[in-house]
Amino acid sequence: MPAPDGPLSRARPGRERIMAAIRTAAVTEFSLHGLKGTSTQAIAARAGLTKPQLHYYIAGKEELYEELLMQVLHAWKVVFSFEDASDPATVLGNYIRKKLDHAIDSPEMSRLFTREILDGGRNLDRYWPNARAWTQNKIDVINGWIARGQMRPLDARILLMHIWAMTQSYADYAIQTRVMLGLPPDAPIDREPIARELVAFVLNGCGIKA
């Protein structure tokens, strides 16, 4: 069945290009308004489609939202793993830097998750068991460092939550960050001084020599 008439269908771009435009538009709308506050009309307009064209490619906003939300969560599982558990300074330093990079480079993807939490997290029931398991793996690694005397005794779960809070701030409060740094709204952020301070702060708090 051909796509409905319109500028994009006449140009005949590939399906993947159109789906990429839809997903990008949906991430922006969902991160701003959440699932309930986002309309398919708004997604279509942002993607450069008519509403009938949009519904040729997606069944509805709920399915698209779930796909994007799970995409965020899967990416976090892959990107924010502890790659080498032997040296806490290296592992935690890399972990913090990757979290900060993601918050600065993909703030709307991060805010999509934050918006879901603010809306009550009703679409995360399937995610939480896996999230607890992934977190427990990191806790076990940190507790191993503590047992071997590589860092001071602490609550590993709270440490991880603190790292997430500090790095996630640069996505959720991106506007405030630029205001406080005296930057224009679209100016790039020099993340290296931020990363150095965050890494030093965490390592010193854990009793780890950089």
HSE at residue 178, side-chain half, CA atoms within 13 A, is: 12
DSSP 189: P
pLDDT on residue 10: 40
Angle of CA points 92, 96, 101, to nearest 5°: 150
User: Residue ranges of the chain with pLDDT lower than 70?
Assistant: 1-13
pLDDT on residue 13: 54
pLDDT on residue 85: 79
User: Whole-model pTM?
Assistant: 0.83
CATH numbers and ranges of domains, the chain: 73-106+114-206 (1.10.357.10)
pLDDT on residue 62: 94
DSSP 123: G
Total residue count of the chain as it appears in this document: 210
